[in-house]
């Protein structure tokens, strides 16, 4: 019986292989035939610098998605999270609406709400690494492009990029005078303005200034206890870039950028976990369901209306941010060599008000302050020696992070608390990367990076004992140290990549690679009631095996990119339940191993001058190894958090030609993801269902007019889908975070 099954399976695979061969052959014949007649124009080429070379995105031997600044503006993408979220096999969630985003690429991410941890997806702004996700609320304006590299980037990017690297590249000054201004209005009484002016000062000097304003007078959330709405925003951000090219061999680009944000943090939806008749966990919660009718918190509170944007919040929490940064890049050509220096400094302060329990009672209410200063310096030297295209470099960074959080906890614990964190991280690295052309069509890839990192952390949780009889310290009458630590950890590692690239012709690339990335260890910075909850967690390491192909067909009007990957993931950093202290909490720890395998596929087709279609899918199959948590041994086989098995991003754009040479470009962008667990324990209560969402816009323009007009909308069907569930059922409740409701608006722009 097994033999017959195997023969049937083999026959099916053979038929599939034959079908694929015939299909590819058919594409080749069709392309040859179409080359003899005029065809549609090619897909627009995007030039990237993801591998420190200036090449077409189709020539990068890795899975990469590049989005132009023009496409970002047309889609009305406002911030970093929105830009990243248009990529398949990438999951974005927030632990509180508007703050602390969690980026997961191909199932690799850090499910943490602390700001002192570096994200495993390296976030770079003009080649400067962001040391914390706290700084990821930056606004998008006047960009050249966004590049999303999937898979570990342990050679050229190095520090903490096991998931991938995401690059935000600002538009640089040019020696051509011009500018742009755009004014918009949307629902929730939202006014927007952004503009740019490019000013050539001399033959060798050019200045580009740009900025963006957002004034949102109404929020998405309503409290039954307060007048008005919650979620107002007032944001001002600006940038100035100066380009100096005194000779053909030297180029210097200096940037200064600033941000000021005054607003209100979004709210989460409540669900209870306690049976008020027995004061034990609700049967529905034990079964993996929420029940707002019969389940409350320990104080008897529940919210029964089912509207995630309404609640009994007792105040309008602040979300205030101030930041500025400086980046200075210099390039010097010395014969056939290029020396590059990238210097960056960033300073950022953020204040937030978190009502974690989402009730009017002061159970877990915190006033938070984050302050970050960081400096980085990278030198690169690159050149070409015969068949070898090489680059070597060195990197150094220093960042200082402080955090304080004053908690109001009297309703449940009869006290107030203080959480502090003071962390300094130093990192240095040396790297080398080379491409060796064995033949004109076959190239080998080899890269190595040595990284040293030192992290010192001092902080803890303190019971202020405001009322003289705190439950957290067993009824003591004086302030009490619940848990504290002062420790330094070090990490030394070598990561690298090896691969082969084969280019059968100018329109195709086939590649295979083995790459490694490592993320350093760190410290948990949340509320703790036992010093063991603050012990450092270990570094994690990921080895990726990937094969892929990039094809440009039908006179480059059709692009097909596909890749398959297998991850061997060790010492995964993730949340695990801890009950060693007075309060059951989630802390950061390590799971021995996991495996992730999947497929990325992206197809872009321009069948006619007026129609452009794009479809991208991501498939994931993840499996966590066995680990121990507060409930005992969790057997191997759980899925990775934030890793939906299937995701889809699409786009269809059609140009409608109108009188007087006007064109109305109509675009619709569907998005889909299947269900996903939001914790490593795979609890049903923390599982978010699948969803569909649709964005769209209509852009009216004319080649003879500098004016443009657009109508845009996001989440057009007003789908209320879950993006995050925070399981605090050990404290009697949990919270849910939902997508933003439908938003829409109009914009008017002018170029000169």
Q: Report the alpha-carbon angle 484-488-492, nearest 5.
A: 145
**Dihedral (CA of 80, 81, 85, 90) sign:** positive
Residue 32 main-chain phi, psi, to 5 deg: -65, -40
How many other C-beta atoms are found inside a 10 Å radius of the C-beta of residue 293? 11
Residue range 42-63, pLDDT digits in tens? 888 888 888 888 888 888 999 9
Residue range 481-529, pLDDT digits in tens? 999 999 999 999 999 999 999 999 999 999 999 999 999 999 999 889 9
Q: What is the pLDDT of residue 14?
A: 36
Residue range 351-397, pLDDT digits in tens? 999 899 999 999 999 999 999 999 999 999 999 999 999 999 999 99
Evaluate whether 241 touches 306 at the Cβ level (below 8 Å). Answer: no
Evaluate whether 107 touches 591 at the Cβ level (below 8 Å). Answer: no
Please report the DSSP string for 444-486 in residue order.
EEEEEEEEEEEEEEEEEEEE--TTS--TTTTS-SS-EEEEEEE
pTM here is 0.91
Residue range 118-138: mean pLDDT, rounded: 89
Q: What is the pLDDT of residue 565?
A: 97
Q: Tell me how far CA of residue 624 lies from CA of 569, 599, 628, in angstroms.
A: 9, 19, 12
Q: With the CA atoms of 110, 112, 118 and 120 taken in that order, what torsion angle do they form, in degrees rounded to the nearest 10?
A: 10
Residue range 637-679, pLDDT digits in tens? 999 999 999 999 999 999 999 998 999 999 999 999 999 999 8
Q: Where are the domains of the chain?
A: 1-37, 38-751
Lowest mean pLDDT among 50-59, 439-448, 609-618: 50-59
**How many CA within 13 A on the CB side of residue 345?**
4
Q: What is the pLDDT of residue 621?
A: 97
Residue range 274-282: mean pLDDT, rounded: 94
Alpha carbons 46 and 167: distance in angstroms, whole number: 14
Please report the DSSP string for 370-430 in residue order.
EEEEEEEEEEEEEEEETTEEEEEEEEEEEEEEEEEEEEE-HHHHSSEEEEEEEEEEEEEEE
Query: Does residue 13 have a pLDDT over 50?
Result: no
- The answer for residues whose C-beta is within 8 angstroms of residue 701's C-beta and 6 or more apart is 662, 663, 665, 707, 708, 709
Tell me which residue of 329, 356, 309 sits closest to 526, measured CA to CA.
356
Query: Does residue 265 have a pLDDT over 50?
Result: yes
Query: Does residue 238 have a pLDDT over 80?
Result: yes
Q: What is the pLDDT of residue 581?
A: 76
Alpha carbons 318 and 191: distance in angstroms, whole number: 20
Please report the DSSP string for 502-570 in residue order.
E-SSTTEEEEEEEEEEEE--B---S--SSGGGGSPBPPEEEEEEEEEEEEEETTTTEEEEEEEEEEEEE
Best-predicted range by mean pLDDT (25-29, 153-157, 197-201): 197-201
Q: State the SS3 of 182-233.
A: EEEEECCCEEEEEEEEEEECCCCEEEEEEEEEEEECCCCEEECCCCCCECCE
Tell me which residue of 577, 537, 727, 429 sits closest to 118, measured CA to CA.
537
Which uninterrupted H or E stretch holds 576?
A: strand 558-578
Q: Collapsing DSSP states into helix, strand and coil, what is residue 32?
A: helix
Q: Counting beta carbons within 10 angstroms of the beta carbon of residue 379, is it exposed (0 to 12), middle (13 to 18) or buried (19 or more)? A: middle
Classified by CATH at the fold level, domain 38-751 comes out as Maltoporin; Chain A (2.40.170)
Alpha carbons 168 and 148: distance in angstroms, whole number: 9
Tell me which residue of 412, 330, 423 sits closest to 370, measured CA to CA.
423
Alpha carbons 545 and 515: distance in angstroms, whole number: 7
């Amino acid at each position: 019986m097994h033999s017959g099954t195997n023969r049937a399976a083999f026959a099916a695979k053979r038929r599939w292989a034959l079908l694929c061969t015939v299909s590819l052959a058919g594409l080749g014949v069709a392309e040859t035939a179409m080359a003899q007649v005029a065809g549609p124009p090619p897909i627009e080429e995007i030039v990237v610098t993801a591998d420190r070379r200036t090449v077409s995105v189709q020539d990068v031997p890795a899975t990469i998605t590049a989005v132009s600044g023009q496409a970002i503006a047309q889609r009305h993408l406002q911030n970093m999270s929105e830009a990243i979220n248009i990529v398949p096999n990438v999951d974005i969630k927030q632990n509180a609406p508007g703050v602390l985003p969690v980026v997961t690429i191909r199932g690799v991410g850090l499910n943490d709400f602390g700001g002192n941890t570096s994200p495993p997806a390296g976030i770079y702004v003009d080649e400067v690494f962001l040391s914390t996700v706290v700084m990821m609320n930056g606004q998008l304006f006047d960009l050249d492009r966004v590049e999303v590299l999937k898979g570990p980037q342990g050679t050229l990017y190095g520090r903490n990029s096991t998931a991938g690297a995401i690059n935000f590249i600002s538009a640089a000054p040019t020696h051509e005078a011009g500018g742009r201004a755009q004014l918009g209005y949307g629902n929730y009484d939202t006014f927007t303005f952004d503009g740019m002016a490019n000013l050539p000062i001399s033959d060798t000097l050019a200045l580009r200034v740009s900025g963006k304003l957002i004034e949102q007078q109404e929020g998405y959330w309503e409290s039954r206890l307060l007048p008005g709405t919650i979620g107002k925003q007032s944001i001002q951000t600006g940038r100035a870039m100066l380009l100096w090219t005194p000779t053909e061999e030297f180029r210097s680009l200096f940037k200064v950028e600033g941000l000021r944000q005054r607003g209100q943090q979004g709210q989460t939806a409540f669900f209870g976990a306690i049976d008020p008749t027995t004061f034990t966990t609700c049967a529905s919660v034990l079964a993996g369901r929420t029940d707002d009718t019969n389940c409350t918190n320990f104080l008897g509170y529940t919210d029964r209306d089912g509207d995630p944007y309404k609640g009994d919040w007792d105040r309008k929490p602040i979300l205030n941010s101030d930041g500025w940064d400086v980046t200075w890049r210099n390039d010097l050509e010395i014969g056939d060599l290029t020396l590059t220096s990238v210097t960056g400094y960033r300073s950022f302060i953020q204040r937030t008000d978190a009502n974690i329990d989402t009730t009017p009672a002061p159970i877990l209410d915190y006033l938070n302050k984050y302050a970050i200063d960081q400096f980085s310096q990278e030198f690169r030297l690159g050149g070409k020696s015969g068949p070898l295209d090489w680059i070597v470099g060195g990197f150094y960074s220093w960042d200082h992070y402080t955090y304080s959080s004053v908690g109001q906890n009297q309703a449940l614990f009869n006290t107030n608390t203080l959480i502090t964190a003071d962390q300094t991280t130093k990192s240095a690295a040396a790297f080398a990367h080379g491409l060796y052309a064995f033949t004109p069509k076959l190239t080998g890839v080899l890269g190595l990076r040595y990284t040293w990192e030192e992290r010192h952390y001092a902080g803890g949780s303190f019971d202020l004992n405001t009322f003289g009889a705190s439950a957290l310290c067993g009824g003591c009458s004086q302030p009490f140290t619940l848990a504290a630590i002062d420790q330094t950890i070090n990490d030394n590692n070598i990561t690298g990549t090896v691969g082969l690239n084969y280019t059968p012709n100018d329109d195709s690339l086939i590649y295979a690679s083995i790459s490694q990335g490592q993320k350093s260890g760190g410290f948990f910075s949340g509320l703790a009631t036992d010093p063991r909850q603050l012990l450092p967690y270990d570094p994690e390491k990921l080895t990726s095996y990937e094969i892929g192909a990039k094809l440009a067909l039908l006179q480059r009007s059709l692009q097909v990119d596909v890749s398959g990957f297998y991850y061997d993931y060790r010492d995964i950093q993730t949340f695990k339940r801890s009950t060693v202290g007075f309060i059951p909490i989630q802390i950061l720890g390590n799971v021995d191993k996991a495996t992730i395998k999947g497929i990325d596929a992206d197809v872009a087709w321009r069948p006619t001058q007026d129609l452009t279609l794009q479809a991208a899918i991501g498939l994931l199959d993840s499996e966590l190894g066995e680990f121990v948590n507060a409930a005992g041994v969790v057997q191997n086989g759980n899925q990775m958090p934030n890793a939906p098995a299937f995701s889809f991003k699409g786009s269809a754009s059609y140009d409608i030609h109108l009188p007087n040479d006007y064109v109305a470009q109509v675009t619709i962008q569907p998005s889909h993801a299947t269900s996903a667990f939001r914790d490593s324990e795979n609890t049903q209560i923390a599982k978010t269902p699948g969803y569909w969402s649709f964005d769209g816009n209509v852009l009216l323009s004319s080649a003879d007019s500098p004016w443009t007009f657009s109508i845009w909308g996001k989440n057009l069907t007003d789908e209320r889908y879950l993006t995050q569930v925070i399981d605090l059922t050990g404290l009697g409740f949990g919270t849910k975070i939902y997508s933003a409701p439908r938003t829409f608006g109009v914009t008017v722009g002018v170029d000169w």
